[in-house]
Amino acid sequence: MSKSPPIPAADSDTLLEFPCDFPLKIMGHAVDELAQTVLTIVTRHAPDFDGARMEMRSSSSGNYLSLTCTVRATSKPQLDALYMELTSHPLIKVVL
């Protein structure tokens, strides 16, 4: 008999099980303040995030910067709030 995967109790509308490591890819124009802005927003929602673990990659033309932040997500509302704040910031173009 196969065992069904556990269903998260408080967040039944997601397949994620919390807490979990959740990578966020954030892209924006390559400006000096982008990384600090992303770090400020991410640590507001995931205070234990270590900024030294942020991965940065420039586009081939150097016009865009991709930042990857892997946060320890504790709930769907936490991730939703983080996405909302990131996507509403004018320096940030895409959040995946």
Taking only the tens place, the pLDDT of each residue in 62-96 is 999 999 999 999 999 999 999 999 999 999 999 99
Full-model pTM: 0.85
**Cβ atoms < 10 Å from Cβ of 84:** 11
Q: Walk me through the domains of the chain, giving residue ranges and CATH numbers.
A: 20-95 (3.30.70.260)
Q: Look over the chain and give the mean of its residue pLDDT values, rounded to a whole number.
A: 90
What pLDDT, on a 0 to 100 scale, did the predictor assign at position 12? 60
Q: Are 56 and 67 in contact (CB under 8 A)?
A: yes
pLDDT given at position 14: 79
Dihedral, CA of residue 21, residue 27, residue 33 and residue 36, to nearest 10: 0
